[in-house]
Amino acid sequence: MTEPHLPGDPTRDETLQRMIRVDHAGEFGASRIYAGQLAVLGRGPKAELLRHMKEQEQVHLDTFSRLIAKRRVRPTALLPIWNVAGFALGVVTAAMGEKAAMACTVAVEETIDAHYQAQITELGPDEQELSATIETFRQEELEHRDIGIENGAEQAPAYRLLTQVIKAGCKAAIAISERV
Ligand SMILES: [Fe+2]
Ligand SMILES: [Fe+2]
């Protein structure tokens, strides 16, 4: 955030508010995806892994919920949509099979990794505590991505198409949740 401020650019405070808003939305969506997957695969051999990832998403979500309150950020108006869409994405991918569920994780977590990386770069030396929090979560998202790959994501039917569609959806959701 050392670049010159141009008219029409969001202010530093607006930028921070957007970051927290979209991260809160994303972690909420992630927790809903794993909830949807567990609704289908909760008794299967991957249930423990899914529960582990869901628990970490809950910590991420709780952290951003606290930041939303502490910094008086307006949450996205689209939480009801992400509630349903996240759960549905989890259910649909899990219904396609364990490998498709893992492919969903790879697609989502790779998108979030890039998103968090961009935020850390944008923050630069500012907001060190927030930046460290995002980096910690980014590492855990990468752990989830690795779990997905280790558990057969790439053998999912139509892996490339599936992950491309999910990534496009995640990117759209990110762009919308920063503002709305
Ligand atoms: Fe997360
Ligand atoms: Fe994650």
The pLDDT > 70 percentage for the chain reads 97
98 CA to middle of ligand 2, Å? 17
CA–CA separation, 16 and 3 (whole Å):
15
CA–CA separation, 61 and 22 (whole Å):
11
33: phi > 0 → left, psi -120 to 50 → alpha, else beta; which?
A: alpha
* Residue 7 confidence (pLDDT) above 80: no
**Which CATH number does 13-179 carry?**
1.20.1260.10
Around Cβ 59, how many Cβ atoms within 10 Å? 14
Q: Kindly report the pTM of this predicted structure.
A: 0.91
141 CA to middle of ligand 2, Å? 4
18 CA to middle of ligand 2, Å? 20
* Nearest ligand to the CA atom of 104: 2
Q: Where are the domains of the chain?
A: 13-179
Cα separation of the two ends of the chain: 22
11 CA to middle of ligand 1, Å? 26
Two tokens at 67? 């930041």
